[in-house]
Amino acid sequence: MLSVMVGTMASIMSSTIINVAIPGLSQHFVLGQERVQWVSSGFMVAMTVAMLTTPWLLARFGYRKTYLGTMVLLMAGGIAGGLADNFSLVLAARVAEGLAAGAVQPIPAIIMMRAFEPSEQGKAGGLFGMGVVLAPAIGPSIGGVLVDLFGWRSIFFMVVPFCLTAIWLALKFVPSSAPGGEAAERGAALDWRGALLGAGGTLCLLNGLVELHGDSMLQATALLVAAAGALVTFIWWQKRMLSSGREPLMNLQLFGHRTFAMGSIVSFIYGTALFGSTYLLPVYMLLGLKLSASHVGTILLPAGLVLAFTIPGVARMTNRVPTYVLVTTGLVLLAASFALMPTVGLSASLGLLVAWAVLGRIGLGFILPSLNLGALRSLDKDLVPFGASAISFLRMLGGAAGVSLCGIVLEWRLAVHGDSLANPDTSPARLAAFNESFFFLAALCCLAIVAAWQLRPQRPAAGQ
């Protein structure tokens, strides 16, 4: 678990830390914000789709070769991006990093379910969760210092020591077998058509949501219709693969398990709310409350530390407290933190803002270690790799959509109140628009609560 935690931390850090380098990239290559933003978007699309390939990679190459391959690819992407003098090469390096990050992220959950007894899974999840949460918490802070001292290229090189450590640990501790202790097979072929449909659909969805920010409603509609078409075709193709005895990219038998199906819905909505809030909260503090960047970091730091220490405690409860109780509790706390944000105004104490941010992170601490374990425990062992990759894919897809959705809702409410973020001065109208956007996130959490309540065990029918 420690071995794969190091590599997963590197992959998560590479996904979050790049944001502090975007201004430097834009200036170095003389690019507009929309084009340079593709270093984040390209990474996100590659990571989301690569998550679906993890079961095939593990079955064909085993744990060790798959993990080593992702670390080598992540390190190569970091070195190539750091040395690049052409923006196309930077973008290609980010896509390579995204592919590695996506393929590696479901592996810890698979190991947790296959290598640990149920009574030990909570402890393993708590240890892993605490380490992984610290990566995005400290990554941007370290990245900001590196950019100030050494420039944007240093951000790419930051993953290299993590990858080298992960490779050394993998050679010593990660088994070469496939899930279940079986020998890795080399006969199965990857479902390339499914992968292309998934990539195309994800790309159309994200671009369609971005276009909704602009004036081209026709282009946005066309992209969203194409995304819906790709989804329908993807489901049809996966059913055809399964019925013909071939191995699909996403095993749709997973969704025949009620607990997993409900957990997937919660995971998607939760990803939307989580990633949406990570965009909305800093913008609210910077442009709504007119706080400095240093104030924003100071306010969010206690919340990140509370989250890191909440996860191990909750993880130890997963064997005693039902999953639906833990997840529902977390969603209620998260919804409350969003709903209470309007109590913070220009004249309110910053301590109130810290309190609501901490409350939300405590909610996340209840959700993170319990949702995956609860959803995967209902599966047969041979479906666990598919389940881990599918639920990670849905969470990231929801997260990618959540950032755009929050931006759309905020722009809509600003327009209704007759304000714009381009206006240098804050106003009651702007605060009202932000408050209504927080209510939107709270409503999403309430929707997830409905699905989370369905995670409770079914009662046997009368006479059984």
User: CA dist 71 to 10, 162, 196, 419, Å?
Assistant: 9, 9, 23, 46
Take residue 26 and report the two structure tokens written for it: 């834009």
Kind and range of the H or E element at 198? Answer: helix 192-211
Contact call for residues 31 and 142 (beta carbons, < 8 A): no
Radius of gyration of the chain (CA): 22
pLDDT at 461 over 50: no
pLDDT band for 165, please (50, 70, 90 cuts). Answer: very high
Q: Which residue, chain included where needed, has tokens 């939300």?
A: 360
pLDDT at 171: 93
Q: Which residue, chain included where needed, has tokens 């996100």?
A: 44
List of residues 6+ apart from 410 with CB closer than 8 A? 280, 283, 433, 434, 437
Take residue 83 and report the two structure tokens written for it: 């040395």
**Each residue's pLDDT tens digit, 234-293:** 999 988 888 887 888 888 888 888 888 888 888 888 888 877 887 788 778 877 887 775
pLDDT at 131: 65
List of residues 6+ apart from 124 with CB closer than 8 A? 1, 112, 116
Residue 318 DSSP one-character state: T
Q: Which residue, chain included where needed, has tokens 């929050």?
A: 406
**Each residue's pLDDT tens digit, 22-34:** 667 777 777 665 5
The per-residue pLDDT of the chain, averaged, comes to 81
Q: How many CA atoms lie within 13 A of 31 on its CB side?
A: 19
Take residue 123 and report the two structure tokens written for it: 């402890």
**What residue spans of 293-344 are helical by DSSP H?**
293-315, 323-339
Higher pLDDT, 128 or 187: 128
